[in-house]
Structure 1
Amino acid sequence: MKRFFRLFLLTLLVCAPLSLFAQSGARYGYLNRAAVIALLPETARVRAQLDSLRAKYEAEARYNETAFRRQYSEYLQVQKNLPEAILLKRQGDLQMAMERGIAFRREAENLLKKAETELMGRVGEQVDTVIRAIGAERGYDFVVDTSAGTHPYLNPQKSEDITPYVKARLLNAQ
């Protein structure tokens, strides 16, 4: 009996800390990262830069389109009077001009996407740095980004909305 009692006490001593550990649970923070990024003045500056760049590319594309239409109009006016060899050459010229215009539009879109990724990436890095700092200061095990809508429930007893802390730090740093 004494031996059974000792074994019971030993088991109790070993299991007690494990049950306390299981009850402690993780602490985590959450925020809508996209909403925080949208509020930053830097985001507005980036959007203005991108809009300006987009307008320049659009103006150049319109210029190319106008030149193509002029060239096509001239072709239509003289096509009846030209020999077949010249007609074929002009048709080839028109085809190349049209392909160049389409290629320019594609390249412009790719360049705009690249510029947006680069410029917005810098803003995102700035936000992530602040999130990591606040997470460490407040002792979180992790921080969840709710902007994707993939977390329908976050336990309010174990989590905290860190959006106000992140906004304050970012806006004070500006």
Structure 2
Amino acid sequence: MDIFKFLNLSNYNKRAIIGGVIATIFTGIGAFALGNLSGYEAKELIRSSLPGFNTLCNTIVLASATILALLLTLISVSSGSKSKLNKSHYKHIILIAKIDTVVFVAAMIIFQFFNLPVTEADNVPSDWYTYIYYATLIISSILSGGLISVVLMLFNAVVSIIKVVGLDIEDHPLLQGDDENND
């Protein structure tokens, strides 16, 4: 995949992003399993699913903020280690932080947007409800896939640190002197 070469991603990051994309696709399939909805049906489904959607956004915001804090701990452990880690490790952490921040900001903005009482408005055309409902399903799939990618990338970083710091693996690609961009 050329996009991975362009982004200069390690194999672990590629797998994590592919895992997030697969999760997005599987959760998004539910949107198309419902078939066509009328505006009234979509309005009722929005009313019943909006609390769950808001909870999902809140959970993603909380998880993303927690992951950013965990990254600080990961950096502390990394720099406090007697082993000298190469730059690819820190680039990996920066990438996790960037993607996590995008997911955080997107979830916060989307949460605010979907807190508007659209189902209570009288001047919204009924066919818009169908689009709004499908948008919530697609957006929730994308946010979930993004968070899954971040968690998988964080998992890879933690496993690598455990191997280097905790298990003293001396030939790990993270150790300084090895110029590979793998974790």
TM superposition score normalised by structure 2: 0.37
Larger Rg belongs to: 1
Structure in which a larger fraction of residues adopt strand: 1
Quick one: higher RCO (CA 8 Å, sep 6+), 1 or 2?
A: 1
TM superposition score normalised by structure 1: 0.39
